[in-house]
Amino acid sequence: MDILECIRTRRSTRTYTDRPISEETLRELIGLGVKAATGSNEQPWGFAVIQDKDEIQRLSEETKGWLLEHLADYPYLEQYREWLNKPSYSVFNHAGTLLLIYGDTASHWYAYDGSLCAANIMLAAHSMGIGTCWIGFGEHVLDTPEFKRVHNVPESYRLVCPMTLGYSKASLPPSERKEPRIFSWRKA
């Protein structure tokens, strides 16, 4: 798949098969991720990989509980109350792999660099037939001092992108996007 086709056809995947992603493939994806542009060449990224389905499910339940408990603090999440109350709903889409991209806050650019890294991984995964989804719901539970201690993430690192990965159950059509808002276009 060429890069333009990859960009045009990549979608967020929310239904995965049980086929596992190999360690070799994940290491290759992370290696491609860190080829991303990086401010001042600081390369502030770091990663945690979870491929234990029981742990991913436990983290989903913990995340749902946290979100329900804090809905008043985040009114934009109110629209998800029904999902979060549904026992069958998985924050992490029942994926077999959860990849967490952290950034070292010593770098001013950590959030940008981590996001660029995530985009590389998403595109590379799509080109390999692997689906991905950025899971914004994970930002609170997966960035706590307790979680980071268990997963050896240094205190100075902040979660940038919680991402599920897996082989998609279905082929999805390209997503529709609004026309870009171009605020200015000056020519000589």
Residue 73 has pLDDT above 90, yes or no: yes
- For 35-66, the three-class secondary structure string (H helix, E strand, C coil) is CCCCHHHCCCEEEEEECCHHHHHHHHHHHHHH
Residue range 131-157, pLDDT digits in tens: 999 999 999 999 999 999 999 999 999
Q: Is 175 helix (H, G, I), strand (E, B) or coil?
A: coil
pLDDT at 120: 98
pLDDT at 175: 85
The count of C-alpha atoms lying within 13 angstroms of the C-alpha of 131, restricted to the half-sphere facing its C-beta, is 25
By percentage, how much of the chain surpasses pLDDT 70?
100
Q: Residue 118 corresponds to which tokens in the numbers above?
A: 């995530």
pLDDT at 174: 85
Dihedral class, residue 37 (left if φ above 0, else alpha if ψ from -120 to 50, else beta): beta
pTM, full prediction: 0.94
C-alpha 25/C-alpha 121 separation (Å) is 11
pLDDT at 136: 94
